[in-house]
């Protein structure tokens, strides 16, 4: 089992920055990859940025050059660094994790349907 909890959301003006944090607890034997997703009002949830099983990151086109992901395993934390925020970035942001097998294969954490565990989400509002 993996438990996830997001923090750091809130309201920010256009052009501002926020850092979201996701603290997680999991059994030490587990192998996971993780990512951030978001759901804007009236829209479907979408991937934002992930760290896949090979350690490489994938970033959605609308946030490329503005959002980055980082992970600190010593602190059991995943971060989403958001810069140059726009009104279109207003959404609930979710941290998610995917259980991975120990088979050496490559697995993506950029697809919502692949994810095993989800945080409750945190709201980010960008206003002009």
The pLDDT tens digits for 40-81 are 999 999 999 999 999 999 999 999 999 999 999 899 999 999
The token pair at 111 is 């697809």
Lowest mean pLDDT among 78-82, 96-100, 101-105, 123-127: 101-105
Q: Rounded mean pLDDT of 12-21?
A: 98
Please tell me the predicted confidence (pLDDT) of residue 125: 98
E strand segments, the chain: 2-7, 10-13, 18-26, 32-39, 46-51, 57-59, 67-72, 77-82, 91-99, 117-118, 122-127
């Amino acid at each position: 089992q993996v438990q996830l909890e997001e923090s750091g959301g809130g309201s920010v003006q256009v052009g501002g920055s926020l850092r979201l944090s996701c603290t997680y607890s999991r059994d030490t034997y587990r192998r996971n990859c993780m990512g951030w997703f978001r759901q804007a009002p009236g829209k479907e949830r979408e991937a934002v940025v992930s760290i896949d099983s090979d350690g490489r990151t994938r970033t959605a086109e609308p946030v490329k050059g503005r959002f980055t992901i980082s992970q600190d395993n010593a602190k059991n934390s995943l971060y989403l660094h958001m810069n140059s925020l726009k009104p279109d970035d207003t959404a609930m942001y979710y941290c998610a994790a995917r259980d991975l097998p120990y088979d050496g294969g490559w697995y993506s954490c950029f697809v919502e349907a692949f994810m095993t565990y989800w945080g409750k989400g945190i709201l980010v509002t960008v206003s002009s």
